[in-house]
Amino acid sequence: MGILDKCYNFTDAKEAIAAGIYPYFHALQTSQDTEVVMDGKRIIMIGSNNYMGLTSDPRVMQAAKDAIDKYGTGCSGSRFLNGTLVLHEELENELADYFHKDAALTFSTGFQTNLGTISSIVGYHDYIINDSENHASIIDASRLSFAKKVVKYGHNNMQDLERVLKKLPEESGKLIVTDGVFSMSGDIAPLPGIIELARKYGARVMVDDAHGVGMIGKSGRGTASYYDLEDEVDIIMTTFSKSLASLGGCIAAEQAVIDYVKHKSRPFIFSASIPPSNAAAALKALRIIRDEPERQKALINISNYMRAKLKEAAIPIIEGKTAIIPVYTYDINRTLMITKMLLEEGIYVNPVIPPAVRDGECMLRTSYTATHTQEQMDKAVDAFKRVFSRF
């Protein structure tokens, strides 16, 4: 078989397009907000990660524009060499303070943050222990590392985590990695149980809080703060593309850990640094989140309102406490059809199908923004009622 034959034989997308149920790559004609224009039609957006509603905030936009005026459009090099700006250092200092850690380090994307951190820290004689529903970037980072072995435990299952830890050599290095808020289900990791087992078996803990930051914890500081365990988590990771209304990512940890990663991480050393506009936007968004705690309250309130309305309408949801509300659709074709019909009703949601979930567990991932209104939620629920009534 030729190397490109798999490409020539790939027909899944063409078949879905021909059937009129292809759900991806709809182009927005406006900024990311609670309502957008997509394919020439005004749509209520309940499928973005703009949790704090800051992607179109004038203050964040102005900060990005000012950074371009001062620093230009790019850094033309990696942080390791010529690509470090005073702006990057200012952002890292405020992130470290925000997460109550010694230091922080920024990467060019969230995916790269996990890739660069895990692959550099975990060596030949070490073990990575992953929650079975960890993000794809953590899975790929584990593959890129030189770990002696990568093992999984059942999702949020502390008995299974202990079973796994018991089997590992007592003297070995062990890193437990978990999402804080899981991106598909909206579950919150049982961090107290993870920390307890980490202490018992001599493991370290890294929390990917891409979705938790802004959403939960004091001042939106995420899962570790939510449980009051910031001192117990060794590495806190987050992205800028969600609550922080930009692009990039970071880790916060002890100074020694940051110093090691910044000198050993190949994805960090060999990638260009975050453009000035992205760094400035993330910094401004971080300051707004700290200064305006009412945004976090608004996010939880609107999510709880929508959760109650969906339950009242007998829409099958997964229960939770976050701004991610999954709606069960079970079957692939049914999921794609419902996604298409909701879009025709003026509602955008994200279809989640295998391999992102197991067969028979397809869902619609809906997510909410601090600036959504109850009127928008009412319209969305009415659309759900009309579409689900056909099934």
Active site residues: 183, 211, 242
Cα–Cα distances in angstroms (integers) from residue 82 to residues 27, 68, 79, 221, in the given order: 35, 17, 6, 31
In the structure encoding, which two tokens stand for residue 117, read together? 């951190």
Cα–Cα distances in angstroms (integers) from residue 238 to residues 48, 64, 148, 213, 222, in the given order: 17, 20, 26, 7, 9
d(C-alpha 127, C-alpha 288), whole Å: 39
Helix 374-388 to helix 332-344 angle (10° resolution) is 130
Burial class (CB in 10 A: 0-12, 13-18, 19+), 111: buried
d(C-alpha 327, C-alpha 188), whole Å: 17
What single letter denotes the amino acid at residue 275? P
